Amino acid sequence: MKKYHSKLEERFLKYVSYWTTSDEEGTSNPTSPREFELAKVLEQELNDMGLSKVLLSDTCYVYGLLPATPGMENKKAVGLIAHMDTAPDFSGKDIKPQIIAEYKGGDILLKGNNTYIRVSDFPHLNNLVGHRLITTDGTTLLGADDKAGIAEIMTAIDEIKNSDIPHGDIWVCFTPDEEVGMGPNSFDLDYFKADYAYTVDGAYEGDIAYENFNAASAVFDIKGINVHPGEAKDIMVNAALIACEIASMLPKQETPAHTEGREGFFHLTDISGDVGSAKLSYIIRDHDKNLFESRLNRLRALEVEINQIYGANTVTLTITHSYENMLSVMKEHRYIIDLAKAAIASSGLEPVSYPVRGGTDGARLSFMGLPCPNLGTGGYGFHGPYEHVSVTSMERVVNILKEIVSNPAEK
């Protein structure tokens, strides 16, 4: 039988062996039936651990409850959440992990395609010297986002179940389709009876994140007039050129490649078309609600301006709101953040709170009535072939989770 460094590592390597990439074009729930394969494994493991209320829903959500120990029934119920799918940005099939028993520092060779995880690109590697690392072989992503979170939750629950650690009710849930923005779509808050929860889906293991972007998508649909170029004077309206003009009218420095921290952006994700019609697709992000609205108003003003130049209805702008910054909810539930920070500090780490430059299931769940900040996993370089995770850090996360649930809030 193959030996692993720890049960945690064994679980993680088992989970990443399942191909669970969600489908950006999928309309079903889950977006890909293959997500059920891992869900069935997790359902069985929760049953084998002896949890109650274990359920695999027909929409691919795995629920379970570790009931409170005697005398702790008056505590608030806490939830732990991670997602099963991997990002469609890069292949998540046939993953071949590389294990570095003790990282000595320096660039890491990915043997599948002879590329490197370079310290110059990932300077946090300097803080992982001496750690046990797992990387990709360069041909796929790893799946630490978020199978590291699943392995950490499973290991924490297993260790709590087989210990004398007192705790209130602990709910767990493993969700599909987080990577395509559909994670909370069928989350059953009537079944999952937690008073507050944590998604375990971040990077640095000492991070407790409770700020994320306000987010929207924006699409410019452009109608042109296509006539023979030899007879086009004062008639032709070239939709493709208008698309380029719109793109050039937005600030070049306010794109993802030039922003960081709490700085927002306009991100052109797709441009297509010809003389007769064209389309520009953007995602709009900002942590500050007022700045976010200013960005959307800037797009609306562009629509008006272009139609004034080229004629009414040349351009139609459609804005769709995606999610909001959970900070407004978390301000009302500071104790959840304080519990996590205390648990992180007790593990010997410095708690930090980086603003999430994206969204989390926890943001939407917070607005659905379940306050839910995000904890780090010890994984980095998500969504691509340079993804890697520290097993050493994952072990710390397990201890952090155990500390959090052993000190639940009062009802």
Coil, strand or helix: which one is 129? coil
Q: What is the 3-state secondary structure (H, E, C) of 233-280?
A: CCCCECHHHHHHHHHHCCCCCCCHHHCCCCCCEEEEEEEEECCCEEEE
Ranges of H-type helices in 17-126? 35-49
Task: Report d(CA 43, CA 45) in Å as an integer.
Answer: 6
**Is 145 considered catalytic here?**
no
Question: Exactly one of 35, 178, 286, 403 is catalytic; which is it?
Answer: 178
- Strand 315-323 vs strand 208-209: parallel, antiparallel, or unpaired? unpaired
- Tokens for 214? 């306000």
- For residue 67, whether the previous peptide bond is cis, meaning omega lies within 30 degrees of 0, is no
- Cα 304 to its chain centre, rounded Å, is 35
> CB–CB of 118/343 below 8 Å?
no
Residues in Cβ contact with 13 at an 8 Å cutoff, skipping those fewer than 6 apart: 4, 97, 134
Whose tokens are 């109650």? That residue is 52
- Cα 18 to its chain centre, rounded Å, is 18
Task: Report d(CA 403, CA 197) in Å as an integer.
Answer: 14
> CB–CB of 65/53 below 8 Å?
yes
> CB–CB of 202/254 below 8 Å?
no
Q: What pairs with residue 170 in β-bridges?
A: 66, 78
Closest by CA position to 213, among listed 171, 266, 149, 159: 266
Task: Report d(CA 271, CA 292) in Å as an integer.
Answer: 22
Tell me the torsion sign for CA atoms 161, 164, 165, 168.
positive
> CB–CB of 240/274 below 8 Å?
yes
**Is 234 considered catalytic here?**
no
> CB–CB of 282/266 below 8 Å?
yes
> CB–CB of 408/198 below 8 Å?
no
- Tokens for 148? 């590291």
Residues 392-411 as b or e (16 or more Cβ within 10 Å = b): bbbbbbbbbbbbbbbbbbee
- Tokens for 324? 């909001």
The residues assigned a catalytic role are: 85, 178
